Structure 1
Amino acid sequence: MTDNSIISAHPASDKLDPKASSPNNTLSYADCVTQLRSLINDNSMSGLQILVVLICFTLNMLDGMDVVLMSFAAPSLADDWSIPATALGLVFSAALVGMTVGCLFIAPYADVIGRRKMIMLALFMIAGGMLFSGIANSVTELALARVYTGLGVGALLASMAAMTSEFANEKRRNLCVTFLQAGFPLGAIITGFVAADIIPTLGWRPMFIGAGIITGLMLPVVYFYLPESLEFLLKKQPKNALSAMNRTFARMGSAGLEALPKQPQDAHQKQSVKALFGERTFSTCMLWTGVFLGFFTLYFVISWIPKIAVDAGLPLDKAIYAGTAYNVGSIFGSIFLGWISAKYGLQRMIMLFFFAAAVVLILFGNISMGVGAILFSSLLIGITVNGGFNGFWPTAARLYPTEMRTTGIGWALGAGRAGAVLGPFIGGYLLDSGVGLSVTFIVFAVPLVGAGIAANLIRSKDFN
């Protein structure tokens, strides 16, 4: 049960404590922020706070479905339309372009309009893009649909990470944000099993249409059950902010505000990318460097593990299991990192995960393995690579204050996307050049070491 004493003033009042208020008996903004953070950070997670995390986790599962579905549909699509690999490559790249633009230029507006509204806008875009994909009749139409879908996907993650961070208490914040990231590989796994049953019999279109419908069904869930961030409402004070905050306080089992405090002078100041630097310049650069290097190896692994498993001697069906093992490892690694980082420190654990991942990658590429060993190695790669990488999102959420949090997360995602583009391309070049798995995996182990060092260099004193 939440401790109401944090925001209770007098025996006759259940409002926020006005002991530090101004002469007009209105709680000052600074005092209100302090007590709000104390309410969130110092108490057990209420049912509403847990619900917020679970809704965001579910949304990230849908993200996993929407992003990977194209890869499962590609063989059937190629047969239906008789299109070459280059055309499929255009479609794959279209989604990535949309995601990058969404991260850089749409996600930051959540710091203006609110996390909840941005999540709903992103869901609307993703649902529409998936439905449009399902009825597309040309490569051009499908590519446009994937760009549009990618815009929504890129806008969604930053808001979900910010929302989860702002509703989780201090003890569970790292765990909650990394648990959120575990939804993506789980959605990918479920989508793979469903696609394996549906696409061979019904074709690829029903999968996209079904995904669009499922995504659209989350809109009323978000509208009715997901509250707006309390810190956002307090800082920006949009219309009906007081009643919205008090409804959320009530759902958390806590008292409410009698009146909103006077806004700080910078409340409506537009936050530009420049705001991410200043006193946080070094930490922001280290965050972007870590995300870029992490994406570089992460997307190589995601793109090439099944093919590498085949080249290592596994039959195709077993090689597909290697991809599944990787995603299962991603789930456990993300959750384990969030749990253990509360005790040993987030930056340090990201570094150790990446160092371990570098060792596993080198062993994977240099030791001849049987089926069981390859599957186990794929599991370990998922635990260490994806687990370590997902530690960047609670790091970004802690690094930036409320008014620039989604801008910070979105630009970290967008800045790192270049690594996501380069990784699979360079991996394919190395594999085709004949240098062999040994050299290729050593090359991709090096960026993980760099990403770990960059993560550890992010300064905790810059955390908000």
Structure 2
Amino acid sequence: MSTITQSLIDERDKLTSIQIGTILVCFFMNMLDGMDVLVISYTAPAISKSWGIGPETLGIVFSSGLLGMTLGTLFVAPYADRIGRKNMILLSAIIMSIGIYLTAWAGDVTQLVIYRFISGIGIGCMLASTAALTAEFTPLKSRNFWVSFVVAGYPVGAVLSGLAAAKVIPSEGWEKMYIYAGIASVIAIPLILFFLSESIDFYLKMQPGGALQKINKIIDRLGGDHLTSLPVKEESQLAIPIGKLLSGKYKKPTLQLWLALFMAFAALYFMTSWIPKLATDAGLSLELAIYAGTVFNLGAFFGIVTQGYFSSKYGLKKTIGIILILTAILMCCFGFFVGSDWILVVFGMLGFGIQGGFVGLYAFAARMYPSEFKTTGIGWSMGAGRMGAIFGPGLAGVLLGMGVTIGTSFLIYGIPALIAGIMTMRNTSEDVD
């Protein structure tokens, strides 16, 4: 961060209204993200029954959305470092709205795959941009918590959409869920336009038209002194600096972070995509199966907030590593709980652990990279993770189609969670504790 933002943000304890507003809007955007991602999981059993499609085909549908997220984070989100975090969040919301609403009118699997892919592009851009903007508006000593808190909007949205799905799908059909989700996404657009601010660091680095006036307007709301001029702009900052992620001191910790995210995402999206379907296969009713996904994401919210708190006290590496390793152990023991009354509790505990751990890796990326390529760093880290997200549900579909049991599936996916925890604890970044 610049010395200006350090004095205005890092050296103050109390958040101002503009900081609180930024946090809340970003939290809400991630709520929509969670809703848009998980709605396909909640509607999957109904779609499968209505269209007569098997788990292998559903795996392709799940992976198409995740492919869109991957491409969005890798090739679209980095442009936030050029056009601004706010503009990218706005663009993401528009893309999400279009994709999610069109899904309601899908007439076959091909159309469903296309619309989920479009939604995925917007979703992938959203998370990277909100994490970067939050990191640039919050004090250093509480930044881990606030980035984790903002991303915690994701499971909150998933929980709310799960509660809605349990009521809407049986009575109105799965298509209605996408109509309601599309309307919610459209409503969010005015919030971005009128209540979200761009970061000072972006204006200082890229210096778009009227940058000085915009910076001073933000400084007024932060209670600081006006700038009289802008620093000299470096021409190298005009390019999207992807190559910087794999050079110098960032090379080794970046590769370690990417591996951890790949493994964490594979385990996470195996569960988020398949929990409702696995729950119905285990004998639960459609409504209870949807609630299983809801319980998972409710646990996720508390896991993310808890992780953010302990990371601020004890450091990201140790906190995230321990959470992911404990989650891996629980996944390996999952088979013992199949068919028991404890199954919903276990789903909640798994959500607490896997989401708490992988969201902490977002905060890890936000701390590791400087402002001039922060969104690029977060986006490419998430992109590496999304590769695992594509791999996870797709392989699970094949395994389940082959007759692999639920307990064995969780045992298999406990291995990536374990690797993610170990790689996080061993990360060599000097900028993250």
| TM-score normalised per structure 1 | 0.86
Q: How does 1:230-245 map to 2 (within 5 A)?
A: 230-245=200-215
Give the 5 Å matches for 1:116-155. 116-155=86-125
Identify if the C-alpha distance between structure 1 residues 90 and 440 changes in structure 2 by more than 3 Å, giving closer, same or farther. closer
CA displacement at 1:131 relative to structure 2: 2.6
Give the % identical residues.
42
Instruction: State the 1:353 CA deviation.
Output: 0.3
Cα distance in 1 for partners of 2:397, 2:87 equals 40
- The yes-or-no answer on 1:354 pairing with 2:288 is no
Q: What is the letter of the counterpart of residue 405 of structure 1?
A: K
Q: Which residue does the alignment assign to 1:254?
A: 224
SS at match of 1:357: helix
User: Amino acid of the residue matched to residue 216 of structure 1?
Assistant: V
- Counterpart for residue 244 of structure 2: 275
Q: Deviations over 1:242-289 (max 9, x none)?
A: 111111111223222122122235332x13421101121100000100
List gaps (5 residues or longer) in structure 1: 1-31
Q: Please name the residue that 1:420 is paired with.
A: 389
Distance 1:346 1:162, change over 3 A: same
Q: Which of 33, 39, 48 lines up with 2:2 in the alignment? A: 33
Task: Write the distance in 1 (CA, Å) between the matches of 2:397 and 2:232.
Answer: 57
Aligned partner of 2:423 among 443, 454, 457: 454
Shift of 1:319: 4.1
Out of 350, 372, 378, the position equivalent to 2:347 is 378
Separation (CA, whole Å) in 2 of partners of 1:130 and 1:307: 21
1:181-205 Cα deviation digits (max 9, x unpaired)? 2111111111122223233333333
1:161 to 131, 152, 156: 131
Indicate the larger mover: 85-94 or 298-307.
85-94
1:299/1:397 Cα in 2 relative to 1: closer, same or farther (>3 Å)? same
Structure 1 range deviating more: 49-58 or 315-324: 315-324
What aligned pairs does 1:262-301 form with structure 2 within 5 A after superposition?
Answer: 262-268=232-238, 270-279=239-248, 280-301=250-271
Given candidates 388, 406, 411, the residue that maps to 2:375 is: 406
User: For residue 340 of structure 1, what is the aligned residue in structure 2?
Assistant: 310
- In 2, Cα distance between the equivalents of 1:174 and 1:222? 23
The CA RMSD over aligned residues, in Å, is 2.4
Partner deviation per Cα, 1:150-176 (whole Å, 9 max, x = no partner): 111111111011001111111221111
In 1: Cα distance, 2:205 partner to 2:295 partner? 44
Which of 282, 289, 298 is residue 328 of structure 1 equivalent to?
Answer: 298
Q: Which range is displaced more, 174-183 or 359-368?
A: 359-368
User: What is the distance in 2 between the residues matched to 1:297 and 1:88?
Assistant: 17
Q: How much has 1:369 moved relative to structure 2?
A: 6.6
- CA offset digits 1:96-126 (Å, max 9, x no partner): 2211111111001001111011111111111
User: Could you tell me which residue of structure 1 aligns to residue 31 of structure 2?
Assistant: 61
The 8 Å contact of residues 309 and 374 in structure 1, kept in 2 or not, is answered as no
State the alpha-carbon separation in 1 of the partners of residues 96 and 108 from structure 2. 19
C-alpha distance in 1 between matches for 2:339 and 2:175 = 38
Q: Which runs of 5+ in 2 are unaligned?
A: none
Q: Does residue 1:393 correspond to 2:362, yes or no? A: yes
Match runs of 1:57-136 below 5 Å:
57-77=27-47, 82=51, 84-85=53-54, 88-136=58-106
Contact map agreement 1:297 1:444 (CA 8 A) in 2? yes
Equivalent position SS for 2:307: helix
- Give distance in 1, aligned partners of 2:6 and 2:409: 47
Residue identity matched to 2:365: A
1:150-189 equivalences in 2 (<5 Å): 150-189=120-159
The AA in structure 1 aligned to 2:3 is: T
Q: Distance in 2 between matches of 1:337 and 1:302?
A: 19
Q: Distance in 2 between matches of 1:376 and 1:399?
A: 35
Larger radius of gyration: 1
- Larger deviation: 283-292 or 374-383? 374-383
Q: CA deviation at 1:424?
A: 2.8
Letter matched to residue 158 of structure 1 = A
CA distance in 1, matches of 2:411, 2:398: 15
Q: Which has the higher relative contact order, 1 or 2, with Cα contacts under 8 A spaced 6 or more apart? A: 2
Q: What SS does the aligned partner of 1:164 have?
A: helix
CA distance in 1, matches of 2:404, 2:52: 31
CA contact (8 A) 1:400 1:463 kept: no
Are the structure 2 counterparts of residues 393 and 230 from structure 1 closer, same or farther at C-alpha, using a change threshold of 3 Å? same
Q: Which moved more, 1:56-65 or 1:87-96?
A: 87-96
Structure 2 residue matching 1:461: 3-state secondary structure: coil
Task: Report if the CA contact (8 A) 2:77-2:379 is conserved.
Answer: yes
Query: 2-side partners of 1:55 and 1:199: how far apart?
Result: 29
Question: Is 35-44 or 141-150 further displaced after alignment?
Answer: 141-150
The one-letter code of the counterpart of 1:328 is L
Query: Structure 1 residues 392 and 74, CA, compared in 2 at 3 Å: closer, same or farther?
Result: same
Distance between the aligned counterparts of 2:285 and 2:176, measured in 1?
A: 29
**Structure-2 change in CA distance of 1:360 and 1:160 (3 Å):** same
Does the CA-based 8 Å contact 1:276-1:284 persist in structure 2?
yes
Moved more, 254-263 or 292-301: 254-263
| Corresponding residue SS for 1:266 | helix
CA distance in 2, matches of 1:378, 1:134: 28
Relative to structure 1, the CA distance from residue 427 to residue 271 in structure 2 (aligned partners, 3 Å threshold; closer, same or farther) is: same
Give the deviation of 1:462 after TM superposition: 4.1
After TM superposition, give the deviation of residue 66 of structure 1 in Å.
1.4
Alignment partner of 2:357: what SS? helix
The one-letter code matched in structure 1 to 2:390 is V
Q: Hey, what's the Cα distance between the residues in 2 that align with 1:77 and 1:443?
A: 27
2:412 paired residue number: 443
Range with greater deviation from structure 2 (38-47 or 431-440): 431-440
Once the two structures are TM-superposed, the CA of residue 89 in structure 1 deviates from its matched residue by 4.6
